[in-house]
Structure 1
Amino acid sequence: LQESMFELIGSEASYLRSLGVAVNHFQASKALKQILSKMEQHILFSNIRQVMAASEKFLMDLEMRLGESVLISEVGDIVLQHCSEFHSLYVPYVTNMMYQEALINQNFVSLLKKLESDPVCQRQSLKSFLVLPFQKITRVNLLLKRLDQSSGGSTKPTFTS
């Protein structure tokens, strides 16, 4: 149970660092801003800054719980507390993914390759950073199910509630 809770916190911290690369390296790129219209920038990055801000708040709450005691009793209440905000942010983000894919396959592939070659990307593509919110939904759901099984069924919330 403790291992799963620490994995949830570690996973969220790692996710947040990667979102930081998407926002601070790709979205903030002056070169990318010069060749993309405002609409294309919105299509490509959607509401990723808000997704990142929600993740920061979630991680802070998880870390606060960890700070209360090294033995974490539960995190389901924290997940429930954040579910409505996640839902309101993730639905439009995930809905926008097909438009992201179409836009990435257009005329700025060479610039993307240059940005992706930066060491901060750790040999990952922009697509791998943009898909993180979608992957998070399934990962947190799996971790919560494992927590529920480990605790004998006392952790009921799911990420998609």
Structure 2
Amino acid sequence: EQMEVLVSCFLRPFKMAASSKKPPCSHEDVNSIFLNSETVLFLHQIFLKGLTSRMESWPTLVLGDLFDMLLPMLSIYQEYVRNHHYSLQVLTECKQSPPFAALLARLENKPACQGRSLETFLTYPMHQVPRYII
């Protein structure tokens, strides 16, 4: 759910804003902040769909094949995690721009965000894979 909010409430609006006549940020900034968030969301959705179908077969629960499928995709998560610090640096720099800060404040005030900041949503994917393993 948090990844869906990150992509729909932040990434897509910032992409659109970067394409506007007076962009509050560049496409490069958007790519640096969000990197492969859409791909990570897609992987989460695939894993969740597989996990949900397994839960329907409870109490016989076999998850090994889901993790076999997830393992080759860990490089995508790894890239996201490695970029996280840089992502937050770029975000901090962009916040110095009043138009960017105003857009960010509007986006963070959406009901779907439940009062949470963009930084919070950018951090969620880093905790998801360890949760799957536990």
After TM superposition, the score normalised by the length of structure 2 is 0.83
Query: What residue in structure 2 maps to residue 53 of structure 1?
Result: 42
Query: What residue in structure 1 maps to residue 91 of structure 2?
Result: 104
Query: What residue in structure 2 maps to residue 70 of structure 1?
Result: 58
Query: What residue in structure 1 maps to residue 9 of structure 2?
Result: 25
CA contact (8 A) 2:108 2:118 kept: yes
Of residues 115, 119, 127, the one that matches 1:127 is 119
Matches within 5 A, 1:72-87: 72-85=60-73, 87=74
Deviation at 1:137, TM superposition (A): 2.6
Distance of 2:54 and 2:129 partners within structure 1 = 21
Distance of 2:64 and 2:120 partners within structure 1 = 28
Deviation readout 1:118-158 (Å, 9 max, x if unpaired): 111011001111111111133223x2xxxxxxxxxxxxxxx
CA contact (8 A) 1:18 1:129 kept: yes
Distance of 1:124 and 1:79 partners within structure 2 = 30
Of residues 23, 33, 41, the one that matches 2:30 is 41
Query: What residue in structure 2 maps to residue 137 of structure 1?
Result: 129
CA contact (8 A) 1:22 1:126 kept: yes
CA RMSD of aligned residues (A): 1.7
Aligned residue pairs, count: 124
After TM superposition, the score normalised by the length of structure 1 is 0.70
What is the percent sequence identity of the aligned residues?
27
Cα distance, 1:103–1:74 mapped onto 2, change above 3 Å? same
Deviation at 1:111, TM superposition (A): 2.4
Provide the secondary structure at the position in 2 that maps to 1:105. Answer: helix
Deviation readout 1:49-77 (Å, 9 max, x if unpaired): 0001111111111112123x231423233
> Unaligned regions of 5+ residues in structure 1, if any?
1-16, 144-161
Task: Give 1:103's aligned amino acid.
Answer: V
Provide the secondary structure at the position in 1 that maps to 2:54. Answer: helix
